[in-house]
Amino acid sequence: MPSVRPPSDVARQAPPLYDLSKDRVLYCIGYAHLDTQWRWDFCQTIDHYIRDTLEGNFKLIEKYPEYVFNFTGSVRYEMMKEYYPEHYETLKKHVAAGRWFVSGSRGTGPSAQCGTSARENAGPCR
């Protein structure tokens, strides 16, 4: 899983956009909640939802300079690393730049419970 780092020094040194003592400001941060298994199986999660989460948010990060995204679940990061290694490398760059935040403090689903990898739990996918 990518290490969590604070936003880049450039972002921290930028002058404030608003005077919070008098301006009303609403901050929104993108977040995706993904149940690894709900009305779909592990294979669908890996083949569709993990890939779509990565690719969709990469597009938004490229399009909108202030876009920041949060995503939870260590098991899902394991899936990203195992099944989409090229995307995982891009993800690590966005984490380092403070554009993608790894949220949450523990794994979810069978991998977290029995200590096996995503592939061992998923069965034959792809």
d(CA 48, CA 73): 16
In a domain? residue 87: yes
Q: Structural domain of residue 51, as residue ranges?
A: 33-98+107-126
- Please state, in angstroms and rounded to a whole number, the distance separating the CA atoms of residues 118 and 126: 13
| 21 within some domain | no
In the predicted model, is pLDDT for residue 72 greater than 60?
yes
First to last CA, the chain: 22
Whether 55 and 87 have beta carbons less than 8 Å apart is answered as yes
Alpha-carbon separation of residue 2 from 18, 51, 61, 99 (angstroms): 31, 17, 17, 13
The number of distinct structural domains making up the chain is 1
Query: Would you say residue 15 lies in a domain?
Result: no
In a domain, 3, yes or no: no
Of the candidate ranges 14-18, 23-27, 66-70, 94-98, the one whose mean pLDDT is the lowest: 14-18
Domain assignment present for residue 16? The answer is no
The reply to whether 22 falls in a domain is: no
113 in a structural domain: yes
Per-residue pLDDT, 12? 57
pLDDT average, residue stretch 56-81: 92
CA distance 118 to 45: 11
pLDDT of residue 89: 97
Size of the chain in residues: 126
User: Is residue 47 one of the residues assigned to a domain?
Assistant: yes
pLDDT in tens, 14-51: 777 888 889 888 877 777 778 777 788 888 999 999 99
pLDDT value of residue 34: 82
